[in-house]
Structure formats: C-alpha cells, structure tokens
Amino acid sequence: MTIRRTVITFERARETAEVEANFLEYLKRSYNVEPLQFLHAVEKDFKKEQDVNTKVTTAKNIIDTYVRDGCQLEINIDGFTKKRLMDWYDAPQPDKLENLFEESFKLVTSELKSDSYTRYLDSEMFKEFVKKKGEKYISTLREESEKKQIQFSPFNVNGCIKDQDIVSLLRLVRNQLW
C-alpha cells in the first residue's frame, strides 16, 4: 500500500480518537506531549465548564500547569501572550474568561500542526498505524477533506480567466471550502 504524506489532515486527526491517541503516543516518545495536553485541557476542562467560579479555578490551574515560568509542562508561547495570561492570573477578570486562551490555543495548534504533526506523518509509527488500520479505514478519514480539494491548472481554462472566476475562487478560500 502506498502511503501519501498528507493522508489525514491535522484537524481530522484531532477529531478521530484512534489517530489522536496514536499521535499522542508519538509525542510522548518525542518528549513533546505538553502542547497536545494543553489543547485538551483548554477544550475539555476550560471551554466546557459553565460555572464561572469553577472556570476561573480551571483557568488558573491551566496557567499553573502549562504557562507559568518553570512549570513542569511549560508550553512554548511568545512572551506577549504569556504576559497577558499571567496578568489575568494575578488579577482574574471573569468577564475576560471567554477568550482567555484563544491566542495561546492558536499558537500551540499552529506549532503542533506545522512541526510535530508533519514529522508524525513521516514517522515509522504513523506508517505502521496506517498498515495496521488498512486502506479502507484511512480512506474514510480522507474522504471528507478531499471533497474540499480543488485542482486548478491554467490548462483548465480555455482562453482567459474572467473576473467572475477570480471572485468565485476568493469566495471558496474565504469560506474555507478550499
């Protein structure tokens, strides 16, 4: 079986328990499990909490665990984002809870997606996972993301590209359909 490097998107892997568990195991072996654990803490503990007081406590625990200088599971985020979180920690404001981890979540997701996940896709561990699960299983994970792919080649247009073609393409990109 031929294994394509972009078999499963990062987003699809996060939605699929078996793939995410395999990726987590890869991160453990790479000694870089903290970013994914941080994402889980924000998604599963912080975002789903409804009670404001519990949400404040959860936010402080996440900051203590993943953000504070020298903490055991410190994640790699820029100084500005870290300072903003630490300022909130020192003077919690419940009205700012909703978007508290938004920037750090994006940063960690982007780093995982562009670095660790791409290395995972090239790893023997992923190749073994694909062999074990089989092409049929992998193709079910590919289907949805491949529907959004558009092949464009200048040879597909007979003559010139019209303004309407460009506007249509921009709509697809803007609506994240491509």
Q: What is the pLDDT of residue 137?
A: 81
Residue with tokens 């912080």: 46
Q: What is the pLDDT of residue 98?
A: 87
When pLDDT is cut at 50, 70 and 90, the band that residue 175 belongs to is low
Q: What is the pLDDT of residue 8?
A: 83
Average pLDDT, the chain: 84
When pLDDT is cut at 50, 70 and 90, the band that residue 157 belongs to is low
Q: What is the pLDDT of residues 133-150, one digit of tens each?
A: 887 888 788 755 444 544
Q: Which residues does 66 contact at the CB level (< 8 Å), separation at least 6? A: 34, 37, 38, 41, 73, 74, 75
Mean pLDDT of 73-86: 94
d(CA 46, CA 54) in angstroms, rounded, equals 9
Q: What is the pLDDT of residue 141?
A: 80
Indicate whether 23 pLDDT > 90: yes
Domains of the chain: 10-143 (1.10.167.10), 148-174 (no CATH)
When pLDDT is cut at 50, 70 and 90, the band that residue 39 belongs to is very high
When pLDDT is cut at 50, 70 and 90, the band that residue 3 belongs to is very low
Mean pLDDT of 78-97: 93
Q: What is the pLDDT of residue 44?
A: 93
**Which range in 36-40, 48-52, 163-167 is most confidently predicted, on average pLDDT?**
36-40
Q: What is the pLDDT of residue 136?
A: 82
Indicate whether 7 pLDDT > 90: no
Q: What is the pLDDT of residue 140?
A: 80
